[in-house]
Amino acid sequence: MSVMDQETHVTPDGRTIGGVLMEMRNISLRFGGVKAITDISFDIREGEIRAIIGPNGAGKSSMLNVVSGFYIPQEGEVWYKGSVRPQMRPFEVARQGIARTFQNIALFEGMSVLDNVMTGRLNHMTTGLLSQAIWKGKAEQEEIENREVAEKIIDFLEIQHIRKTPVSRLPYGLKKRVELARALVAQPSLLLLDEPMAGMNVEEKEDMSRFILDVNDEFGTTIALIEHDMGVVMDLSDRVVVMDYGKKIGDGTPDEVRNNQAVIDAYLGVAHD
Amino acid sequence: MNGLMAGVLYALVALGFVLIFKASGIFNFSQGVMALFAALTLVGIMEGRVPFSHLINAVFGTSVHHFGWNVPAFAAILLTMVVMVGLAWLVNRYIFRHLVGQEPIILFMATIGLAYFLEGFGDIMWGSDIKKLDVGLPQGINSTIDEITYNLLGYGFFIDNLDLWATFVAILLVIALVLFAQYSKHGRAMRAVADDHQAALSVGINLNFIWVMVWSLAGFVALVAGIMWGTKSGVQFSLSLIALKALPVLMLGGFTSIPGAIVGGLIIGVGEKLFEFIVGPMVGGATENWFAYVLALIFLVFRPQGLFGEKIIERV
Ligand SMILES: Nc1ncnc2c1ncn2[C@@H]1O[C@H](COP(=O)(O)OP(=O)(O)OP(=O)(O)O)[C@@H](O)[C@H]1O
Ligand SMILES: [Mg+2]
């Protein structure tokens, strides 16, 4: 019996991994004739960093899009916090505490960094249209609290110096970081990152890795991430799902996956990128 | 109609326009007709008219016209607003939800269709006769301004109370909308939706809610415009013509600027009267017909983003 089958355990570096937070059961997704995902099951445990890897076009982003409600699978069930999730639209999924970033960065280009980050707090603003107009005090109080959370995350990700800068003026690496900040301020139960380090130089990658580890460590946030850089994946993740041509070909700790023959053949063996 | 009032009306139509354009990129040709429709509905409700009475009478051979009651102005305005929210919901549900992601020109065409439909629908629903509208706004020459200017300049300025009111309300509306867009939860969500759909969804914004909200706001602005204009010159179908002047206003103010709408509206409304007064006699008059468009043309050449619009940067 491997260590992963236990309900709750503590990792060698002292983090607590809890029970199953999200479980994908027999997910299949097709686009016309293209089978993006074929009958894939895996789970994500509370507090862990779960990686999804695989060659280009393997279906990794599609899987993340299923988790976040952007794609609706033809078959399979999504279980979240112990119950099966009915079909939901993306904004409803977000309101359930699942935040995400995108492979191609989706920021509000016309807004400042701070405004972008503040939109991540929208779900935490309770005051409605009318009460906002009538009961200004409460709305202001809320705004102050939300600002505090936002500033904390901005400090945490070391982007104070660009708080007021319009996002459209930022270099790629910083944009990725702002996107992470916006997802984080929502204080999500589950954070989905689609290639958070793509297109970055070595130094930026190291920074981003450190941030991901710190987020997980300090806030206990459960993270599912897609990444191409095998070195990074091995360093960061507790468990790895390996996909190829829409199928799951491996699942386990980085060491288990690294030594899995199917993975070596399919993923490491073929030329990609 | 004098310059101030015309300017306010241009501004209000342009304002509704900016709201929808900002939040959804839809160039709403029907904004003027929405003002007409709102005014028609308001009069209809206030006077207790039976909607579709012509149609009902023609089909059933009856002769109903009025319910026989009158609704107080305030209640009627609230009811009309309910109708405008309903309209916003219908427009989103049955038209624009199906056109998400389409080319702007297709969305624009849809709003042209909507404009003609709404004009015809308003006609069938409430009849095409010119209707008097009086919601109790003050009217008549403002004697204070008359006196003060008389004492100062030796001749009095005649400014209608209604025009002052309309200007005041329009400015208030603009301030409220700017505050709303800038600082409120839903205002922030509105700006987010305008900027990026995917990102907006990922932070938990319900796009459909925001669109209905924005069309409702535009409906409210249309109602205000309808009230001002209906009080001034009766509710009649020529209002949709005024809406065309909102286009040059937008070129001046910028398509995405809420304050730009009011500034642009007043500049054009007052400017075309002054121009007619000063230059008109030299060129044979009727300058009001083209002044706004020529001004817009000049802006298009020298400052295409308008006075307040965001600078247009062409990405290559
Ligand atoms: N919206 C879509 N419409 C049609 N086909 C799609 C769509 N999204 C993904 N696909 C297809 O599904 C397959 C999997 O794509 P996906 O983006 O999930 O791969 P990926 O593993 O994320 O690849 P990459 O490493 O290049 O990001 C591809 O064949 C892709 O063309
Ligand atoms: Mg991908």
CB B189 to CB A119 under 8 A? yes
Same domain membership, residue A156 and residue A82: no
**pLDDT confidence of residue A4:** 47
**pLDDT confidence of residue B254:** 84
Higher-confidence residue of A269 and B118: namely: B118
Q: Is residue A156 part of a domain?
A: yes
SS3 content of chain A, % helix, strand, coil (to 5): 40, 25, 35
Q: Is residue A254 part of a domain?
A: yes
Same domain membership, residue A181 and residue A196: no
Residue of A28, A30, A31, A37 to mutate, ligand 1, most atoms within 8 A of C-beta: A31
- Confidence grade of residue B316 (pLDDT, cut at 50, 70, 90): very low
State in Å: Cα A221 to ligand 1 middle: 27
Residue A14, burial from CB neighbour count under 10 angstroms (0-12, 13-18, 19+):
exposed
d(CA A226, CA A212): 12
Whether A268 has a pLDDT exceeding 60, the answer reads no
Region of poorest pLDDT, from A150-164, B143-157, B182-196: B143-157
Region of poorest pLDDT, from A17-21, A226-230, A231-235, B153-157: B153-157
Q: Is residue A34 part of a domain?
A: yes
User: For B203, which of A122, A129, A143 is closest by C-beta distance?
Assistant: A122
**pLDDT confidence of residue A1:** 40
Q: Is residue A143 part of a domain?
A: yes
d(CA B239, CA B140): 22
Q: Is residue A91 part of a domain?
A: yes
Same domain membership, residue A211 and residue A194: yes
Same domain membership, residue A93 and residue A4: yes
Same domain membership, residue A192 and residue A180: no
Same domain membership, residue A39 and residue A91: yes
Domain closes at, from A185, A202, A218: A185
**pLDDT confidence of residue A178:** 96
Residue A222 belongs to a domain with what CATH number? 3.40.50.300
The 10s digit of each residue's pLDDT in B52-83 is 988 899 899 888 888 888 899 999 999 999 99
**pLDDT confidence of residue B69:** 86
d(CA B236, CA A53): 65
In chain A, the number of structural domains is 2
For the segment A196-213, the average pLDDT, to the nearest whole number, is 92
Q: Is residue A105 part of a domain?
A: no
Q: Is residue A134 part of a domain?
A: yes
The 10s digit of each residue's pLDDT in A101-120 is 999 999 999 899 999 999 99
d(CA A267, CA A255): 15
Same domain membership, residue A50 and residue A138: no
In ligand 1, the atom with minimum distance to the C-alpha of A243 is 21
Whether A123 has a pLDDT exceeding 80, the answer reads yes
What's the mean per-residue pLDDT of chain B? Answer: 88
**pLDDT confidence of residue A3:** 45
Region of poorest pLDDT, from A53-67, A118-132, A251-265, B101-115: A118-132
Same domain membership, residue A131 and residue A118: yes
**pLDDT confidence of residue A273:** 46
Domain closes at, from A185, A215, A250: A185
For the segment A171-189, the average pLDDT, to the nearest whole number, is 95
In ligand 1, the atom with minimum distance to the C-alpha of A226 is 22
Tokens of B48: 């207790």
- Confidence grade of residue A127 (pLDDT, cut at 50, 70, 90): low
Domain closes at, from A129, A153, A185: A185
| Strand A222-226 versus strand A49-53 pairing type | parallel
Same domain membership, residue A193 and residue A179: no
Same domain membership, residue A224 and residue A169: no
Q: What percent of chain B has pLDDT over 90?
A: 38
Whether B161 has a pLDDT exceeding 90, the answer reads no
The 10s digit of each residue's pLDDT in B229-280 is 999 888 988 877 777 888 889 888 888 888 888 899 989 988 988 898 888 8
Same domain membership, residue A89 and residue A14: yes
- Confidence grade of residue A5 (pLDDT, cut at 50, 70, 90): low
CB of A209 within 8 A of CB of A236?
Answer: yes
**Domain that includes residue A124, residue range:** 110-185
**pLDDT confidence of residue B139:** 83
For the segment A25-37, the average pLDDT, to the nearest whole number, is 95
**How close is the nearest chain A Cα to the Cα of B250, in Å?**
20
Q: Is residue A102 part of a domain?
A: no
Cα distances (Å, whole numbers) of residue A223 to A57, A212, B77:
22, 8, 51
Residue nearest to atom 14 of ligand 1 (CA): A59
**pLDDT confidence of residue A267:** 64
Pairs of CB atoms within 8 A across A/B: 82
What is the length of chain B?
Answer: 316
Region of poorest pLDDT, from A243-247, B148-152, B186-190: B148-152
Same domain membership, residue A179 and residue A196: no
